[in-house]
Chains A and B, each alone.
Chain A
Amino acid sequence: MRNLKQKLPGFWFSLPSLVLTLIFSVYPIGWAMRYMFYDYKGYGTERFVGLDNFVRLLSDEAYWNSVVNTFVYAGGKLAITLPLSLILAVILNRGIRGKGFLRGVYFLPTIISASVMSVVFFTVFNSYNGVLNQLLVRYGIVERNVDWLGVDKAMLTVILIAAWGAIGNYMLLLIAGLQSIPDDIYESASLDGANAWQKFIYVTIPMLGPVLQMVIMLAIINSLKGYESIMVLTEGGPIGKTEVMFMYVYKLFFPISTSSNSMEQQLGYGSAVGFVTAIIVGVVTLFYFRLSKRLNQVH
C-alpha cells in the first residue's frame, strides 16, 4: 500500500503524456495494424485480404527501391551532419568572439520549416536559372548548367539540403554535452603533456560518449524518417531517384492526384507498407544500440 502511494505522483505526472500517446500513437498504430489485412480505399467497403498486402509488398520494386534510397539518403546525411556538427560544437564551445551569435546562425535552419527551406533551395539548385549554376558558370567552374535536380544528382542535392538543415540542431546537443565535461580533466591532460588533438581524441570523445550515442541515434531515426524537403523539392523524382520509404507510405495514404486524373488512396496496402517500414527503422535503431553500447561507458 505504502509502495503504491509512493508511486502515485509518478503516475499522475506521466498520465498526460500517457493519454496523448494512447490517442496519437497507440490508437493509430492499432488502426493501421487492422487495416493492413484489408483492401480499403478510404470509402466503400473494406475487404479482408489476409496477407495479400504483404505478398504484394515483397514484389513491389518501387518500395524496395525506396528502402535503398532511404539508406543512401540517411547514410549521406549522417556522414555530413555528424562530423560537421561535432567540429562546430567543439569550435563554438571555446571562448571565441561572437560564439553566441554564431551558434544562433548555425541553429537557425533548424527552426525554419523544411518546406520553406526547400522552396528557397529550389531557386538555388534549379538547373535553368538557379543561383548556384549562375555562380559556377560565371566563375568558370563548370562550362554548362549542372542538372542538380536531375536523375544523377538529385539525391546528392537533397542530402546536402537535409544536412544543412540538421547540423545546427545536433551541434547544440553536442555543445550541451561538451559543457558537461569537467575542466579539470582537460587540465590533468595538459599537465600530462597532451596536445589539443590528443585531448579531443582521448578526453572529449570518450566523455561525450553517452550524448554522442543519443545524438547519433536521433540522427539515424530522423534521417530514416525525413522526407519533407524531398516532398517539396522533387516529390521523390525524377523516376523515383529520391523516393524514400516514408514518402512512399505517404503517397499511398495521400496520392498525388492531378486535377484531371484522380488517384485513389490505398489505406490497406499503405498500412502494411507503413508497418514494415516502422519495423525496418526499429531494427536499424536496435542494431545501432547494440553496436554503440561502448559509447555509453564513460570511464
Chain B
Amino acid sequence: MKKSMAVSLGLVLSVGLTACSSNASNGSSTDQLSQSTGAGAQEKTKISYWTIDRHDSDYIKQVIDEFNATNTDNIEVEYVVKADDYAQALDLSFAANQAPDVFRVKEGTIQTYYKKGYMAPIDEYLTDAQKQEFMVMPNLNQFDGKMYSLPNYGSTMRLIYNKDLFDKAGIQNPPTSLAEMVEDAKLLTEAGKDIGAYGFALPFKSPNSAWDRSARVIAELSGYGGFGFDFKTAQYDFTGFKEIAKAFKQMYDDGSALPGMEALDIDPLRAQFAEGKIGMYMSYSSEPGVYKSQFPAKINWAAAPVPTIDGTVKGASGFLGGQWLAISANSDKKDAAWKFINYMYGDQILQDYHEQGYGISMVSQIIAKAKQPDINGIEGFLPNKDDGVWPIKPTVNVEGAGYQETFFKYMLQGGDLDKEVEDLNTRYNAAFAKAIETGDVEIEADPGFDPTKLGGAFAQ
C-alpha cells in the first residue's frame, strides 16, 4: 500500500512540478517582457494577414514591410501567402479559433464567408471620404446593409497566348470561336513539336479551378451564366457548356493539349507557359504579375478576349471584384487590423497596385488619376466594352459529381453528353429547390435579364 501511495504521490508531484516549471518559464518570459517594456520599448501588436494572391506578393511584401517599419502604433503584420489550399486553411483556422486577423476575400467566396460569420463589419471605421471613394456593391462587399470589405482591383478573364508559337504556326490572330480554338491548338502543337510545346492547357488537377477560369468565361461571353445558372428562369441549365466541353474534348483527343494536364496545378502550368511549352490557356488578369515576378516569361505573350461558342458575342465577360481585405470576426485586435487595412487602401498603394499591373483598379478615384499599368501583357486585360459584372449565382450543395468534374470526365472518356447535361440539370435544380425551401437561398427569376446589357460599364 505504501508503495502504491508513493507511486501515486510521485506522479502527482511530477505533474505538479512540470506545471510549476512551465509557470516558472512563463513567469520569466513575462518578466523579460516587462523589463523591456520598462526600458521604453512598447509591446508589439502582432496581427496576421492571409491571402491567396501570389501574383502581387513581391509588391505586397514591400508595402507591408514599410507598414511594419513606419507605423506609429507599433503594429506588426505577419504576411502569409497560402496557395490553392487557401479556402480549406481558412475554414480550418476558423474552426480551430486561430483565424488570421485580416484575410483576402473574393467575389466567389465573400458570400459564404458572410454566411459563416467570418467577417466583422467595418462601417464604424469608415470615414465619410472612404464612403464616397469606395463603391458599395450589394452581395459583393455589402450584406444586409453593412460593409465588410472595400473594392481595390477587379479581375478580367482572357485567353493568354504564346505569340512566338502563334507566329511560328503562322496564325495571325488569337481564336474568336471554339472551332478556331480547336484548329489553332492543332496547328500550334504541330509547330511546337521540335521544342515539345503543345497548343492548349488547363490546370485540371482541380477540375473546378480549370473550368471556372475557362469554360465559365467562354459561356459568359456567349450569353450563358458562367456557373450554369440561368438568371432569366432562375434554374440551373448546363446546356451552354455542351459545345465548350466538346471543343475541350476535341483538343484532348487531337493530342493538342499538354500531356499530363489532368494532374496539373495552375502554377506548374504557368511555369510551362513561361518556358514556351504551351500555346494558349485561359485565366485571370493576375497573369501579367505572375510573368513579371513569379515565373519570368522567356517568351513573347499577350492576352485577348476568350473565344465565344460561335464567334459572336452575346453576353459579357465577367469582371470580378468589389472586395479585397476583410477583418476576422474572431479577431481581438480589430482596431489594429483596421489600421493596417486603412493603410493598404491608401490612394498611393492602390494607384501603385494598378500602375504596376497587379490588378485593374475598380476605384473610380484611382482610375481617374492612375497611369496606364506598366507591365507586359496587361493591355490585353484592360476592361473593354464586353466586360461586365454578372449577378451572383446561388451556392447549392449538389449530390453526386459537380458539373466541372462531369465535363472533365466527358473530356477524358467521352460518353453521352446530352444525358450528362440532363442529369446535371436535374441534380442541381433538386439541390437548388431544397436550398430555396430551407431558406438558404433567395433568388427570383428575372425574365428581362439580358446578358448583352452587362458589358460596357467599365469601357466603351
A-side interface residues toward B, CB under 8 Å? 2, 5-6, 8-9, 12-13, 39, 41-44, 47, 56, 60-62, 122, 126-129, 145, 147-151, 154, 233-235, 237-240, 254-266
Distance A263 CA – B107 CA, assembled complex (angstroms): 13
The verdict on A43 contacting B117 (CB below 8 Å), with A259-B106, A262-B87 known, is: yes
Partner of B260 from the list A41, A43, A60, A147 (CB cut-off 8 Å) is A147
Binary contact track B257-294/A, C-beta < 8 Å → 1, others 0: 01110111000100010000100000000000000000
The verdict on A128 contacting B412 (CB below 8 Å), with A5-B4, A254-B88 known, is: no
Distance A180 CA – B209 CA, assembled complex (angstroms): 54
The verdict on A266 contacting B397 (CB below 8 Å), with A149-B262, A259-B106, A261-B227 known, is: yes
B87 A256 Cβ-Cβ under 8 A: yes
Chain A residues lying within 8 Å of B260, measured Cβ to Cβ, are: 126-128, 145, 147-150
Distance A44 CA – B114 CA, assembled complex (angstroms): 11
> Can you list 15 A-B contacts (CB < 8 A)?
A8-B4, A12-B8, A43-B115, A126-B260, A128-B272, A154-B262, A237-B204, A237-B206, A254-B87, A257-B87, A258-B108, A259-B86, A260-B213, A262-B395, A264-B112
Partner of B7 from the list A9, A56, A233 (CB cut-off 8 Å) is A9
Binary contact track B96-119/A, C-beta < 8 Å → 1, others 0: 000000000011110110011100
Query: Which one of B161-169, B361-369, B401-409 contacts A?
Result: B401-409
Q: Which A-B residue pairs are the 3 nearest by beta carbons? A: A127-B260, A149-B263, A260-B108
**Could you tell me the dominant secondary structure of chain A's interface residues?**
loop
Interface residues on chain B, size class: 35 or more
Chain B residues lying within 8 Å of A257, measured Cβ to Cβ, are: 87-88, 108-109, 208
Partner of B400 from the list A5, A62, A235, A237 (CB cut-off 8 Å) is A62
Which A residue's beta carbon lies closest to that of B408? Answer: A239
B262 A259 Cβ-Cβ under 8 A: no
Instruction: List 14 extra interface pairs beyond A39-B438, A154-B262, A259-B52, CB under 8 A.
Output: A5-B4, A5-B5, A8-B4, A41-B397, A56-B399, A62-B400, A126-B268, A129-B196, A147-B262, A154-B263, A234-B263, A254-B91, A262-B111, A262-B112
B208 A256 Cβ-Cβ under 8 A: yes
Closest chain B CB from A266 CB (angstroms): 6
Chain B residues lying within 8 Å of A13, measured Cβ to Cβ, are: 11
Distance A234 CA – B205 CA, assembled complex (angstroms): 6
B109 A240 Cβ-Cβ under 8 A: no
A261 B208 Cβ-Cβ under 8 A: yes
A259 B109 Cβ-Cβ under 8 A: yes
B413 contacts partner chain A, Cβ-Cβ < 8 Å: yes
Chain B residues lying within 8 Å of A263, measured Cβ to Cβ, are: 87, 208, 395
Candidate in A9, A127, A238 with the most chain B CB atoms within 10 angstroms:
A238
Distance A260 CA – B268 CA, assembled complex (angstroms): 20
The verdict on A237 contacting B208 (CB below 8 Å), with A2-B1, A262-B111 known, is: no
The verdict on A44 contacting B108 (CB below 8 Å), with A60-B399, A149-B260, A261-B212 known, is: no
A238 B397 Cβ-Cβ under 8 A: no
Partner of B108 from the list A41, A233, A262 (CB cut-off 8 Å) is A262
Task: Give the residues from 214 to 228 in chain B that come closer than 8 angstroms, CB to CB, to chain A.
Answer: 216, 227
Closest chain B CB from A246 CB (angstroms): 15
B116 A43 Cβ-Cβ under 8 A: yes
B440 contacts partner chain A, Cβ-Cβ < 8 Å: yes
B12 contacts partner chain A, Cβ-Cβ < 8 Å: yes
Partner of B397 from the list A128, A154, A261, A264 (CB cut-off 8 Å) is A264
The verdict on A9 contacting B395 (CB below 8 Å), with A128-B259, A150-B263, A237-B207 known, is: no
B92 contacts partner chain A, Cβ-Cβ < 8 Å: yes
B-side interface residues toward A, CB under 8 Å? 1, 4-5, 7-8, 11-12, 52, 84-88, 91-92, 95, 106-109, 111-112, 115-117, 196, 204-209, 212-213, 216, 227, 258-260, 262-264, 268, 272, 277, 320, 395, 397, 399-401, 405, 408-409, 412-413, 438, 440
B1 A5 Cβ-Cβ under 8 A: yes
Which B residue's beta carbon lies closest to that of A157? Answer: B263
Distance A254 CA – B90 CA, assembled complex (angstroms): 10
Closest chain B CB from A241 CB (angstroms): 9
Distance A264 CA – B207 CA, assembled complex (angstroms): 17
Closest chain B CB from A62 CB (angstroms): 6
Distance A265 CA – B401 CA, assembled complex (angstroms): 15
Which A residue's beta carbon lies closest to that of B208? Answer: A258
The verdict on A238 contacting B259 (CB below 8 Å), with A5-B1, A61-B400 known, is: no
A265 B263 Cβ-Cβ under 8 A: no
Chain B residues lying within 8 Å of A42, measured Cβ to Cβ, are: 91, 95, 116
B4 A265 Cβ-Cβ under 8 A: no
Partner of A240 from the list B115, B264, B405, B438 (CB cut-off 8 Å) is B405
Closest chain A CB from B220 CB (angstroms): 11
Partner of B11 from the list A9, A39, A147 (CB cut-off 8 Å) is A9
Closest chain B CB from A151 CB (angstroms): 6
Distance A2 CA – B4 CA, assembled complex (angstroms): 10
Candidate in A12, A147, A234 with the most chain B CB atoms within 10 angstroms:
A12
B412 A260 Cβ-Cβ under 8 A: no
Which A residue's beta carbon lies closest to that of B113? Answer: A262
Distance A237 CA – B406 CA, assembled complex (angstroms): 12
Which B residue's beta carbon lies closest to that of A259? Answer: B106
The verdict on A151 contacting B108 (CB below 8 Å), with A126-B263, A235-B205 known, is: no
Which B residue's beta carbon lies closest to that of A127? Answer: B260
Partner of A239 from the list B5, B208, B399, B409 (CB cut-off 8 Å) is B409
B440 A44 Cβ-Cβ under 8 A: yes
Distance A266 CA – B206 CA, assembled complex (angstroms): 19
Chain B residues lying within 8 Å of A264, measured Cβ to Cβ, are: 112, 395, 397
Which A residue's beta carbon lies closest to that of B209? Answer: A258
Distance A42 CA – B227 CA, assembled complex (angstroms): 23
A47 B438 Cβ-Cβ under 8 A: yes
Which A residue's beta carbon lies closest to that of B204? Answer: A238
Distance A31 CA – B196 CA, assembled complex (angstroms): 53
A258 B206 Cβ-Cβ under 8 A: yes
Chain B residues lying within 8 Å of A239, measured Cβ to Cβ, are: 405, 408-409, 412-413
Partner of A238 from the list B5, B88, B400, B412 (CB cut-off 8 Å) is B412
Closest chain B CB from A11 CB (angstroms): 8
Chain B residues lying within 8 Å of A47, measured Cβ to Cβ, are: 438
Which B residue's beta carbon lies closest to that of A1? Answer: B1
Chain A residues lying within 8 Å of B112, measured Cβ to Cβ, are: 262, 264
Partner of A6 from the list B4, B86, B408 (CB cut-off 8 Å) is B4
Partner of A151 from the list B5, B262, B264 (CB cut-off 8 Å) is B262
